[in-house]
A and B are shown apart, each in its own frame.
Chain A
Amino acid sequence: MIRYVITLCDGPSCMQKKSKELQEIIEKQLDNLGVRQKVQINLSGCLGMCAKGPVMVINPGYTIYGNISEKDVPEIIESHIVKKKPLAKFIVDQDHLFNRFYRVFGDVNFFGKQMRIVLRNCGIIDPENINDYLSVRGYEALAKVLTDMSPKDIIAEIKKSGLRGRGGAGFPTGFKWELAASEESLEKYIICNADEGDPGAFMDRSTIEGDPHTVIEGMIIGAYAVGAKKGIIYIRAEYPLAIKRLEKAINDARQHKFLGDDILGTKFCFDIEIRLGAGAFVCGEETALIHSIEGSRGMPRPRPPFPSVSGLFDKPTVINNVETLANIPVIILDGAKWFSSIGTEKSKGTKVFALAGKINNTGLVEVPMGTTLRQIIYDIGGGIPNNKKFKAVQTGGPSGGCLPEIYLDTKIDYESLLAAGSIMGSGGMIVIDEDSCMVNIARFFLEFTQNESCGKCTPCREGTKRMFEILTRITQGKGKEGDIEKLERLGNMIKKSSLCGLGQSAPNPVLSTIKNFREEYIEHINYKKCRAGQCQGLFNFEINEKCIGCGVCKKVCPNQAIFASPKSKYQIIQDKCIKCGLCFKVCKFNAINKILKEVNLWKRN
């Protein structure tokens, strides 16, 4: 029976200080003392205490030992595990906000490799009870800034931390706040953008549902820094539970004097209102979002003027993403210096990703910037199910691109993903295996953006529609020579000439799949072949000799395309078949074959 879990930090900094070697010594010592069965040893991702490395955490109890060397290990193990007395002289006594989830989840591989700042309380505390949040140092960051930090200090601290907007574009948050703070206006606004529209992304919903107060606290601090008196949380109406918890959290915060007039006995006044979005994807774009709050139709407008100069009701406005705001209390309490030690040179901190698609462990993961795609997909995500081959990973939702295997060792940050031909986006990550057709995936995302285009500017409205038509044609086996070039020309034109981010990024899934999987497009067009067998125009169903004539397939066929002449096997009328695949699914005798078409144009000539 396992009684203790030892977690060794295996981040780059601790690894340099020989954390791997320590593992062997620990194991040896455990054997010597005869307690090997009681202890489980895990290697974790960066624990964010690089200055104190190598770091070792012993659970239960969440005792952190820092600066340990080979010769200290036997002493610590003997004292802590055999004598049950934690060895005080190596204990790091820091009440960090992040990684508290280690107390509960530290022994599970999926969690152990992560570093949680934004999701620090998700799955640990009761989101509907403000006392739970207060007990984990909730609202202490707010009290700290109100006690001894001026708005200028806060902005300087956030700038120093290197925090960048987590909504996708990665604009430095401190700089954004500074721009709004320098505007002179009696009225200013701060808006929290919780209009999460990317298919497959749900980190904002989880953050709000699991820990609503941290978003509110981040917002109040932001308001204090820029001088806003009013905050608005713009959230989609499709998230009823998140809205309910936010409302409760806001009311609780008002009762505790964290919101309203004279916050915590100071002269500072601020209140938050919730506005519901009707679920248009374009309203995630900041100027469209502002129009929607003002009561007009959600359509973007040209920038400049940027919202920080003239935003909501033409007043200076700061718009931050949920995840960005959830980082703020941690930066204030644990310090910008600590925060900026995590991540890469240009992208600091962590990023939450929603893992979905063909992967064993689907779910939310939070990792430091600079983690590679391979680590996320294989170490945390557990690889591809059913021994299938990895084909691509799609990041950034409908605005991002598909990255093939050669990019698996790309370190995740804003710049490197952009260089690879995708974007960070809001953090959707869809894993694609060999059973999926890349042309079809590009078509799926384009269908989404094409539907969601607001229609204001022509390139986006007409261009995406034409691209979608061409892609549909290709997947139906009616592709023509020159289609790829046409898609590329149209795509680049839309990117250059669209008004807002939606249009500027809509062709990305198509362009990146053409760049990385051009051969699949060529197969579809020239040989009418879909190697994944997904495109409906490019395969046939046929009944083979295993058919026993049970007739199940005939019953389920929605288009009466299956018939049987007396005393023979069933047959499919190809002209009538709509390729729905129902007969293929219900047949218990493997009597239906899916036959991929392949036309060799050279032979036919």
Chain B
Amino acid sequence: MANPLEIIKKKRAEAINSIMSKGYLSKKRVYVGMATCEIAAGSKDVMDVFKSAIANGLTDVYLSQKGCAGRCNLEPTVEVIEEGKIPVKYCKVNKDMAKDIIEYHIKKGEVIKDWIIK
């Protein structure tokens, strides 16, 4: 019988594999804040925009929710992470901004600097 540490090692490897298989290694990873506070600020709408974009054929993006990072006055927040680059953190995102983020940042690679948390 394997000891607990060995079991957990295996579980961790399985977990990482499962995340990878969902497309974690995609070019861009998008995280939308989904805690009570962020949902109250409107992050559900933003999440829906990203979800429907992926349903409508946006590829090579890994979409995930996340908890509250603690920036109450700037919520909802959206992070776009690319391997090897400084993660881009957008604040006070609404539906229309989310569409622009998809159009400019995710499709064309142009970071929208005005909306970044300083």
Contacts and interface: CB of A to CB of B under 8 A. Distances in A.
B7 A105 contact: no
Contacts of B4: 142-144, 146-147, 263-266
B65 A362 contact: no
A33 interface: no
B12 A137 contact: yes
B70 A143 contact: no
A251 B71 CA distance: 30
A128 B15 CA distance: 13
A121 B16 CA distance: 16
A138 B64 CA distance: 18
Contacts of A131: 14-16, 18-19
Contacts of A143: 4-5, 7-8
Interface in A217-268: 239-242, 256, 263-266
A103 B8 contact: no
B45 interface: no
A110 B3 CA distance: 42
Contacts of A142: 4, 8
Interface majority SS (helix, strand, loop, mixed), chain B = mixed
A365 B69 CA distance: 9
A132 interface: yes
A343 to B, nearest CB: 20
Nearest to B77: A123
Interface string A121-165: 111111111111011011110111011100000000000000000
Given A126-B64, A147-B3, A205-B36, A119 B70 contact: yes
A441 to B, nearest CB: 21
A123 B79 CA distance: 10
A490 B56 CA distance: 68
Contacts of A558: none
Contacts of B8: 134, 139-140, 142-143, 264
Nearest to B83: A60
A206 interface: yes
A266 B4 CA distance: 8
A311 interface: no
Interface residues of A, number: 62
B36 A60 contact: no
Nearest to A137: B12
Contacts of B19: 129, 131-132, 135
B70 A123 contact: yes
A130 B15 contact: yes
A576 to B, nearest CB: 38
Interface stretch (A1-9, A480-488, A593-601): A1-9
A264 B39 CA distance: 36
Nearest to B113: A1
B97 interface: no
B55 interface: no
Contact of A123 (B1, B12, B39, B69): B69
Interface in B76-98: 77, 79, 81, 83-87, 89
Interface in A6-32: none
Contact of B12 (A122, A134, A209, A210): A134
Contacts of A210: 35, 66-69
A363 interface: yes
B70 A122 contact: yes
Given A130-B15, A143-B4, A363 B86 contact: no
A105 B89 contact: yes
A67 interface: no
Interface in B30-85: 33, 35-37, 39, 64-73, 77, 79, 81, 83-85
Given A4-B86, A105-B69, A123-B67, 7 more contacts: A111-B70, A122-B67, A125-B67, A127-B66, A209-B68, A210-B69, A363-B72
Interface of B: 1-5, 7-8, 11-12, 14-16, 18-19, 33, 35-37, 39, 64-73, 77, 79, 81, 83-87, 89, 117-118
5 contacts: A111-B70, A122-B67, A126-B66, A148-B5, A210-B69
Shortest 4 CB-CB contacts between residues of A and residues of B: A210-B67, A123-B69, A364-B70, A134-B15
